Amino acid sequence: MESFLVDYLRHIGITEGVTASAVDCEVCGGAEFVTVADIVDIGKDAFGKLPIQCCTACGFMMQNPRFNRHFYTTFYNTYYRTLLFGSSEPEKAFISDQVRRGELLYRSLAERGYLKEPGKLLDVGCSAGGLMVSFLRRGWTGLGTDPDIGFVNHGKDRLGLPLVVVDAEDMDLQADEYDLVVITGSLEHVYDANHTLSLCRRASRPGALLFLEGRALGQGILSGHFSHNHRRYLTASSLELLMVKHGWEPLFTTDAPLCGPTRPGGVYCLGRAVDVPAPEVVRALIRSGKRDDPRALQERLAAGGVAVDAAPNRDAQGVA
């Protein structure tokens, strides 16, 4: 393993049983990349090397190389919330913000005519589950999944929400059960985004909706540096390509703050379940121009002051 990866693991405190390797593009399977940034915030008031690469074929941005699943399971089950918030229990303000964002999301979708009657909701990466509250109050049923035991137990015990502790890749979901799947930011964290979306598609009823939020790219540009917590950096194009790949027809994509102003820099996509297409359909979309330009992304990062190969300004304002 390269020395900078060893240094990162020592800093995080997870060293046993960890391996690392380069991976192909998660959207198109391409193996050619350009590095767009390699210095990231690794927590504990420190910065370190962890390359972020851009696929030359479709422009998908992702952390590469990657560690094995053991690392990510350990990190999110044991370290993530403590490093981010200093506690394994959510603060009251965090829960209140989740509930507010859920109310705004419900209104955003209902006002556009997509939520005509109560159905069944799946919230993947739900944290404490506050986003589900507004749906449940209006007669929806549902399930929230997250690997963080402390936050899930808070949602179950304090809020009475239907949550389970599980990695996204291990969700045990019945086929054709859900009318709406929401993944607000968590797709940028999961170990295997493609497997997660495949599970969600199988669990979706015909015509069901999928709502995705990507915020890592915008958050990084606003703060002037990227965080080590994000495995991939979703754009409007990559959200739509992932939807098409796994059997959803994108209905609309926007950077309007559908869930409110507390998580700036986000991009959102809503899709409706259709037949899962052949792989050639996605490749044809990319060839037709549905892709990100690596050079344009690099220029966007440079304009935002994102560090490429040197530690960023420590006084840059982060986004909580």
- Sorted by where each starts, the structural domains of the chain and their CATH numbers stand as 3-86+291-303 (no CATH), 92-286 (3.40.50.150)
Q: What is the pLDDT of residues 192-235, one digit of tens each?
A: 999 999 999 999 999 999 999 999 999 999 999 899 999 999 99
pLDDT at residue number 79 = 72
CA distance 256 to 250: 16
Handedness of CA 290, 295, 296, 302 (dihedral sign): positive
Residue type, 134: S
Residue 39 contacts residue 51 (beta carbons within 8 Å): no
Tokens at 32, concatenated: 């050619």
Q: What percent of the chain has pLDDT over 90?
A: 83
How far from chain centre, in Å, is Cα 261?
18
Residues sharing a CB contact under 8 Å with residue 237, sequence separation 6 or more, in sequence order? 58, 59, 290, 291, 292
Q: How far apart are CA 39 and CA 106, in angstroms?
A: 37
Query: To the nearest whole percent, how much of the chain has pLDDT over 70?
Result: 93
The pLDDT confidence band at residue 109, using thresholds 50, 70 and 90, is: very high
DSSP 8-state class, residue 311:
P
Pairing assessment for the beta strands 120-124 and 178-184 based on DSSP bridges: parallel
- Residue 265 CA to residue 275 CA, distance in Å, equals 31
Tens-place pLDDT, residues 225-278: 899 999 999 999 999 999 999 999 999 999 999 999 999 999 999 999 999 999
Q: Any long-range contacts for 110-113 (C-beta under 8 Å, 24+ apart)? A: 112/252
Q: What is the pLDDT of residues 17-70, one digit of tens each?
A: 999 999 999 999 999 999 999 899 988 788 999 999 999 999 999 999 999 999
